[in-house]
Structure 1
């Protein structure tokens, strides 16, 4: 009897061990913590077919717009050959955006927008558009004219190209908006508070705006008011926007920008009485999927973890406080002052998360150690930690988590840790930058998470599985 009992105990122990050892990422199963991800290499890349897979997550949300990657199967702009960018160009423009944020810090230009009655170029730089852009389609005017706009949390003004183009307009996929055909269009005078304090602007004349982006792109035009149609049930009157009459640059076929920054001219600020200055978005896992941009609090995930916004020298940007980072089961040696001097922001338009040089060096070192079983390969541009996954069906990578102020811990999705150039060159999706600049939490790291901007409540939230 005792022999049979001992035999059964051994079988029980073996069963427990097998269940433990063959579960994904089972380094700390007793505590329920998972320190790694195992997934198919193919999931890192867009579908080989030309089909688009809409997200089912937005179907239960009101005031929600589909979000698509500008260069993918879900975007009608992708038929425009000028909109198809290679990775080198995406990363080059991404670096230009990062540099422009640094430039704005040094110049202390709040929103990169100059209001003037002159048609001369503005004297101050704005933030560059970047390149791995996500777009939404909204209606402008009466009758409604649909335009596809790049949505950007770093921009304080919504604008679109307008006819007639007084000097030049870049090529866009859709017809250019003509305000003369809209019964709800109104120019804004220099006397309007929205025009701002401008000594060169005379009362009674039309208020003009100008933005010169760091990559040399330009939009100049008049500040106007118009009816915006987000959805069939979300029609907004008297929204201030820029009607661009002279526009040049690399906007990849989009009709303009949807400004989601914190400035007084941004769409969330203007619609605060309707949507309580709350919006959320989910960036899809690949260019073959869709995400969503939602205004208001309807349908926000109950699992969202929030961290307070912090003050930032550029008021239109969203400051956050990073207090720690872990790679697998190892927490990096980050001191309380690591990010406090120059701060950090969360940005929908920056592609790759930027970290101070020393922090990135430690993150890279730990990541390399835990990826030692995979074949390393040469870097590419800003990426210096890359792997060759040729011939592999699945891979296991260490989980990376960010610790934010208020005790909020956010596990990055697996898709937010790697940047796939090709199967033979998949890279760690982070970059080191100067110690004396702010960190930037970029959009690769935000993929598939629902990011909630509760501006009225002074906080930003993160929830997993916001879209696919």
Structure 2
């Protein structure tokens, strides 16, 4: 292992991925599971819908505040900005040889995939079994002397000077720390194939602390960000820098039982009729888009000129934030416009989490205006069930919330029933209206 180098890693990755690419024709999909789905290890039949609503709002605000903190302080920029509790969509996969099943939250803001590992110095209470790297014949630590380790912006050597160690700090008192390693990851494709990807760089966390109550069925996170160590860049030429997701609508007053999809490579290409595309800022770690305005019907409300933004790229598109967060003054203008247009009886959310809700049973033919997000070069007409979320039967709430001095985020709720594709070579995000429950 002492002779392991960055170039050796690249060689193994390249040769292995060429072989795999021929086997799966550069295109594959995996199932995504909403954390509140009956298919999820997080599913809690005793949790009320009120609790789910509060959790979505809390996760959205916490994540926005933390992303701002990370970006403004320049902390661990290659790493994840995820607050661990905030994961919304997860996928199951296996790690090691023989394959060991784990669950990970996907995150488009993350630069590293990591899992909790034995031996645990300090670990959160993971209710599923914890991965033991000593039981895997394919596990290898990355040495501190390697270029892979030194290419990280933040790294440390183990006490014996041999192993490369990573540390990822989240909100105060929460972090994951462990060994940077290479390991085999195995995915179950929706096509029925099971394929292993060798020599993938992951973090093997031995010290994992969380500063809040946490239900620990998840083993860690899956990084889909732009960093060199993200899953997207490690799969490299196999997927040609392309991935997409299609998030299905799950009504809050019903059980979450629909699955969504995460696509890679050729099958991730967003093409055909009604496709619109917008560039993202290639110089930033997150996927920053340029939002020019929102429209409510034919009434356009210009967006921009906010404190903290020195470019036209002014909003982050994010898979881990449930709701769309906008600056308070701008949100007020948007909300006022919606109120002017919607002719339905208002409903007071008992949790005070959502400021604008309507009783759709008050009208025989309830109508909502078309909400359009006007990005640079792309007008995205939001699905009615994403702009207005069903929180109870007959009750819909505006899926936007105001923030005070926080980063603007285009959340996952407003992305449902769209095939959203990322192309890291062209530096664009594409949108296509799609019935994701049948995709």
TM normalised by structure 2 equals 0.81
Q: Let me know the Cα RMSD of the aligned residues.
A: 2.9
Q: 1:104-138, CA deviations, whole angstroms, 9 ceiling, x for partnerless residues? A: 1220225364xxxxxxxxxxx94313536111111
Q: In structure 2, which of residues 78, 81, 84 is the aligned counterpart of residue 129 of structure 1?
A: 84
Give the Å deviation of 1:421. Answer: 3.2
Q: 1:14-68, CA deviations, whole angstroms, 9 ceiling, x for partnerless residues? A: xxxxxxxxxxxxxxxxxxxxxxxxxxxxxxxxxxxxxxxxxxxxxx994210011
- C-alpha distance in 1, partners of 2:70/2:165? 21
- 1:103 is the counterpart of 2:69: yes
- 1:69 is the counterpart of 2:23: no
- C-alpha distance in 1, partners of 2:365/2:39? 26
Q: What is the aligned partner in structure 1 of residue 373 from structure 2?
A: 402
- C-alpha distance in 2, partners of 1:399/1:320? 21
- 1:351 is the counterpart of 2:322: yes
CA 1:289–1:393: 2 relative to 1, 3 Å: farther
Q: 1:269-291, CA deviations, whole angstroms, 9 ceiling, x for partnerless residues? A: 11112111111111221122001
Give the Å deviation of 1:350. Answer: 1.0
Give the Å deviation of 1:166. Answer: 2.2
Q: In structure 2, which of residues 411, 418, 421 is the aligned counterpart of residue 449 of structure 1?
A: 418
Q: What is the aligned partner in structure 1 of residue 208 from structure 2?
A: 247
Give the Å deviation of 1:348. Answer: 0.5
Q: What is the aligned partner in structure 2 of residue 413 from structure 1?
A: 383
Give the Å deviation of 1:168. Answer: 2.5
- C-alpha distance in 2, partners of 1:213/1:284? 29
Count of residues paired in the alignment = 393
Q: What is the aligned partner in structure 1 of residue 113 from structure 2?
A: 158
- 1:326 is the counterpart of 2:291: no
1:169·1:248 contact (CA, 8 Å) conserved in 2? Answer: yes
- 1:91 is the counterpart of 2:54: no
What secondary structure sits across from 2:120 in the alignment?
A: coil
Q: In structure 2, which of residues 229, 238, 250 is the aligned counterpart of residue 274 of structure 1?
A: 238
- C-alpha distance in 2, partners of 1:423/1:136? 28
- 1:193 is the counterpart of 2:151: no
1:156·1:265 contact (CA, 8 Å) conserved in 2? Answer: yes
- C-alpha distance in 2, partners of 1:438/1:79? 31
2:76·2:153 contact (CA, 8 Å) conserved in 1? Answer: no
Give the Å deviation of 1:440. Answer: 0.9
What secondary structure sits across from 2:367 in the alignment?
A: strand
Q: What is the aligned partner in structure 1 of residue 4 from structure 2?
A: none
Give the Å deviation of 1:161. Answer: 1.1
CA 1:299–1:197: 2 relative to 1, 3 Å: closer
Q: What is the aligned partner in structure 2 of residue 176 from structure 1?
A: 130
Q: What is the aligned partner in structure 2 of residue 440 from structure 1?
A: 409
What secondary structure sits across from 1:271 in the alignment?
A: helix
Give the Å deviation of 1:169. Answer: 3.5
Q: 1:283-310, CA deviations, whole angstroms, 9 ceiling, x for partnerless residues? A: 2211220010111122634233211112
- 1:205 is the counterpart of 2:159: no
Task: Give structure 2 stretches of 5+ with no counterpart.
Answer: 1-24, 251-255
Give the Å deviation of 1:443. Answer: 0.5
CA 1:342–1:382: 2 relative to 1, 3 Å: farther
- C-alpha distance in 1, partners of 2:345/2:48? 34
* Higher mean C-alpha displacement, 420-429 vs 92-101: 420-429
What secondary structure sits across from 1:349 in the alignment?
A: coil
TM normalised by structure 1 equals 0.76
CA 1:272–1:282: 2 relative to 1, 3 Å: same
- C-alpha distance in 1, partners of 2:87/2:30? 19
1:130·1:349 contact (CA, 8 Å) conserved in 2? Answer: no
- C-alpha distance in 1, partners of 2:222/2:364? 39
